[in-house]
Amino acid sequence: MINKEKIQAGVKLLLEGIGEDIHREGLIETPERIARMYEEIFGGMYEDAATHLSKRFHVKNNEMVIEKDIVFYSTCEHHMLPFYGKAHIGYIPDGEVVGLSKLARIVDVFAKRLQLQEQLTAQIADALMDNLAPKGVIVMVEAEHMCMSMRGIKKPGSQTVTIVTRGEFAKDEALQNKFFQMVK
């Protein structure tokens, strides 16, 4: 579990390290606020995506299911700065589907960790393949990274796009193109 005391101590050191007075009125409660915030934004570290995929519904139709424009917020593990954007998930059921909100929940489980976008995309796809056993999965994530927007190269508005395919999507370019047309 998250250790709030260590986070608070670390924030105090960080503030002192940048030359701030930790006893200044505006900063007195900052370590506690940061600890509570970290508990929220990194809550996915202690959550298993499989729990959200356990309730399933039987279907006869095995056509593509897409949930698009799933907004997420995550934190880059290299700079500990936010990256945020949208995830698009498509899968071909093999007799079972999950509730649509469950797709958004698994995005949140993996986004609420120190993360790399490439890894986030693969984790979502693999969780679906491992727990739902569909015929195929495709996940596309589009995000803006604050480590590129506010520091370093300073290119706000640039988008990083990652795509992962599994099962039938990995083999069938026409199926991939159908997904891309539908998420436009």
Domain range list for the chain: 4-41, 51-183
pTM above 0.85, yes or no: yes
Mean pLDDT of the chain: 97
pLDDT digits (tens, 9 = 90+) for 7-25: 999 999 999 999 999 999 9
pLDDT digits (tens, 9 = 90+) for 43-69: 999 999 999 999 999 999 889 999 999
What pLDDT, on a 0 to 100 scale, did the predictor assign at position 62?
85
Highest CATH level, class, for 51-183: alpha beta
Q: Please determine whether the domains at 4-41 and 51-183 fall in the same fold group of CATH.
A: no
Instruction: Return the active site residues.
Output: 76-79, 117, 145, 147
Which CATH topology does 4-41 take?
GTP Cyclohydrolase I; Chain A, domain 1 (1.10.286)
178 falls in which pLDDT band (50, 70, 90)?
A: very high
Q: How far apart are CA 176 and CA 91, in angstroms?
A: 11
Average of per-residue pLDDT across 117-122: 98
What pLDDT, on a 0 to 100 scale, did the predictor assign at position 150?
94
